[in-house]
């Protein structure tokens, strides 16, 4: 992220997007007590003023959010140096090497991740650079990164953000809210966007209520932005996935508040969750006539592919991540968002053997015109990344280059896509997708 982030991501979420967000909710360090269970680095005596600051921030955030504190919040200060070590331990323990490798191969197969980049190391470095605070919904503990006993303006607003997560957890149970999202990145991102958008909007209210704090934040931003070298070099699929819950979520929650009675519509959304990033991007599809995603089924490719092949991923991209895909590694395709905007549902599976990958991807669209626009954008994306042209092949489009065969077909509101290492395998998987 371009500036340090605060976040909460329940550890139970096991989608790839959630694994990337996982450290934002899992980093924790057991330290010595402050007031009300608050803690700081060993050997540093917290001041009474700091304890009072915690209580004041929690009370003000709770009042602004309209959710009373049900129980005291355990707060802690964590030094920036301690963060890196803890991220490396907790994050990698929750994201083992086999899952990292499966995700890397999946992203590379789609062309969303450069070859040879270490995904686990990249994410570890990224979180060490970017995180400013977090709320852990498993332990009900809140942490803010600070290297001294005084809160900066950024640390205060981070605490207000994290108090919001604690309030969400106390009133709506974030573990329960996140249940059942294990196999759908798109639904996971949608719910994360509600959670993070809620807390991000609260930050704006908190700053608006304290103009002196807002002035301090402005002065800090003018004096120098937070380091972002790692983030700046991160592929768009990770950059944008990490940013979306804050930016997209903020816009979504703002619309919920404008449509209803301030926070009441936001509170109600925790019992009536957004189901897709389409609904986050287009709040009218949540607030108005509800546009629920269409379920898309895929055949089991295990028997067809045979021995030596294993499933690397089975998931849903959704409108948001489809637009990131179409924008390419340089993120410069200005038509990508429009081409993804007619999304109505998708399902992909990626399989791999010792050397190669197979992608089977089926999607449905709001209209035949939307499907045609997407298919054309996807063909252009693959033609660009493989530096080759598609040719017509029995109603489908076919591209063959350097051990890669791609088949793409639009049929009404549906689009089928296959990538495989050989023509024979591509044809077999394509036929299986057709049913």
Residue 253 lies in a domain: no
Using alpha carbons, list the distances in angstroms from residue 359 to 11, 114, 301, 369.
Answer: 28, 17, 10, 24
Residue 289 lies in a domain: no
In angstroms, the CA 372 to CA 369 distance is 5
Encode the chain (435 residues) as per-residue pLDDT tens digits. Answer: 233 444 444 333 335 555 555 433 322 222 222 233 344 443 344 467 777 888 999 999 999 999 999 998 877 666 666 665 666 667 777 888 899 999 999 999 999 999 989 998 888 888 777 666 677 777 777 766 666 667 888 889 988 998 999 999 999 999 899 888 878 999 999 999 999 999 999 999 999 999 999 999 989 877 765 657 888 889 999 999 989 999 999 999 999 998 777 899 999 999 999 999 999 999 999 999 999 999 999 999 999 999 999 999 999 999 999 999 999 998 888 899 999 999 999 999 999 999 999 999 999 999 999 999 999 999 999 999 999 999 998 889 999 998 999 999 999 999 999 999 999 999 999 999 998
* Alpha-carbon span 37 to 71, nearest angstrom: 12
Q: What are phi and psi of 310, to 5 degrees?
A: -140, 155
Separation of alpha carbons 363 and 343, rounded Å: 8
- Backbone dihedral region for residue 292 (phi beyond 0: left; psi -120 to 50: alpha; all else: beta): beta
325 CB neighbour count, 10 Å cutoff: 22
- Same domain, yes or no, for 156 and 38? yes
| 10: its two tokens | 């329940």
- pLDDT given at position 147: 61
Question: DSSP for 298-330?
Answer: ----HHHH-TT-EEEEEE--HHHHHHHHHHTTT
One domain for residues 426 and 344? yes
| Domains in the chain, number | 2
Strands (E), 183-229: none
Beta strands at 74-78 and 141-145: parallel, antiparallel or unpaired: parallel
Radius of gyration of the chain (CA): 23
| Cβ count near 199 (within 10 Å) | 29
By residue range, what is the domain housing residue 306? 302-434
Nearest C-alpha neighbor of 318 from the set 263, 274, 354: 274
CB-count burial class (<10 Å; 0-12, 13-18, 19+) for 19: buried
The verdict on 306 and 221 lying in the same domain is no
Residue 352's pLDDT is 98
Single residue among 228, 253, 284 that ends a domain in this structure: 228
Residue 66 is predicted with a pLDDT of: 97
Both 223 and 308 in a single domain? no
Same-domain pairing of 408 and 317:
yes
Q: Is 331 left (phi over 0), alpha (psi -120 to 50) or beta?
A: left
Residues 75 and 214 in one domain: yes
Q: Which parts of 111-184 fold into alpha helices (H)?
A: 119-130, 153-172, 174-178
DSSP letter at 72 equals P
**262, part of any domain:** no
* Residues 112 and 16 placed together within one structural domain of the fold: yes
The pLDDT, as a whole number, for residue 230 is 85
Among candidate residues 228, 254, 289, the one where a domain is terminated: 228
Gap between the Cα atoms of 108 and 379, Å rounded = 17
- 323: in domain: yes
DSSP state of 151: -
Nearest by Cα to 3 from 162, 224, 204: 224
pLDDT at 39: 42
> What local confidence, expressed as pLDDT, does residue 137 receive?
73
Is 106 inside any structural domain?
A: yes
**Residue 198 to residue 174: CA distance in whole angstroms:** 13
Residue 215 shares a structural domain with residue 308: no
Query: Token pair of 185, please?
Result: 């990145």
Do 52 and 149 lie in one domain? The reply is yes
- The answer to whether residues 221 and 307 belong to one domain is no
Residue 268, in any domain of the structure: no
| pLDDT value, residue 188 | 94
Calpha distance 279→290 (Å, rounded): 9
Residue 88 sits in the same domain as residue 224: yes
The pLDDT of residue 42 is 38
34 plus 146 within the same structural domain: yes
Q: Is residue 288 part of a domain?
A: no
Q: Is residue 246 part of a domain?
A: no
Q: What is the CATH number of the domain that holds 392?
A: 3.40.1000.70
pLDDT at position 142 = 72
């Amino acid at each position: 992220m371009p500036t340090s982030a605060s976040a909460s991501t329940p550890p139970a979420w096991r989608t790839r997007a959630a694994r990337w967000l996982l450290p934002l909710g899992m980093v924790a360090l057991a330290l010595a007590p402050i007031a009300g269970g608050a803690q700081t680095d060993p050997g540093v005596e917290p001041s009474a003023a700091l304890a009072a600051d915690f209580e004041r921030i929690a009370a003000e955030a709770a009042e602004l959010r309209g959710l009373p504190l049900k129980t005291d919040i355990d707060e802690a200060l964590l030094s920036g140096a301690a963060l890196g070590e803890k991220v490396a331990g907790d994050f990698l323990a929750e994201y083992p090497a086999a899952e990292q490798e499966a995700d890397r191969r999946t992203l590379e197969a789609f062309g969303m991740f450069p070859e040879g980049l270490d995904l686990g190391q990249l994410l570890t470095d990224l979180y060490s650079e970017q995180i400013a605070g977090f709320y852990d919904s498993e332990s009900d503990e809140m942490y803010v990164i600070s290297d001294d006993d005084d809160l900066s303006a950024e640390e205060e607003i981070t605490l207000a953000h994290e108090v919001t997560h604690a309030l969400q957890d106390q009133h709506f149970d974030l573990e329960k809210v996140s249940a059942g999202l294990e196999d759908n990145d798109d639904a996971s991102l949608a719910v994360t966007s509600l959670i993070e958008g809620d807390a991000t909007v609260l930050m704006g209210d908190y700053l608006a209520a304290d103009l002196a704090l807002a002035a301090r934040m402005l002065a800090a931003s003018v004096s120098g932005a937070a380091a972002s070298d790692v983030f700046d070099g991160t592929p768009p699929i990770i950059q944008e996935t990490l940013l979306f819950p804050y930016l997209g979520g903020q816009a979504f929650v703002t619309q919920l508040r404008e449509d209803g009675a301030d926070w009441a519509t936001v509170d109600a959304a925790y019992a009536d969750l957004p189901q897709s990033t389409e609904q986050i991007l287009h709040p009218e599809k949540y607030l108005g006539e509800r546009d629920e995603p269409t379920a898309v089924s895929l055949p089991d490719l295990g028997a067809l592919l045979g021995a030596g092949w294993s499933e690397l991923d089975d998931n849903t991209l959704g409108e948001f991540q489809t637009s990131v895909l179409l924008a390419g590694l340089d993120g410069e395709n200005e038509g990508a968002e429009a081409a993804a905007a007619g999304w109505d549902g998708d399902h992909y599976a990626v399989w791999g053997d010792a050397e190669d990958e197979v992608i089977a991807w089926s999607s449905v669209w709001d209209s035949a015109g939307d499907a045609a626009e997407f298919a054309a954008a996807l063909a252009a994306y693959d033609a660009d990344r493989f530096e080759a042209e598609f040719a017509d092949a029995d109603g489908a489009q076919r591209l063959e280059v350097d051990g890669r065969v791609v088949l793409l077909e639009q049929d009404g509101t549906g689009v089928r896509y296959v990538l495989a290492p050989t023509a024979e395998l591509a044809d077999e998987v394509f036929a299986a997708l057709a049913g």
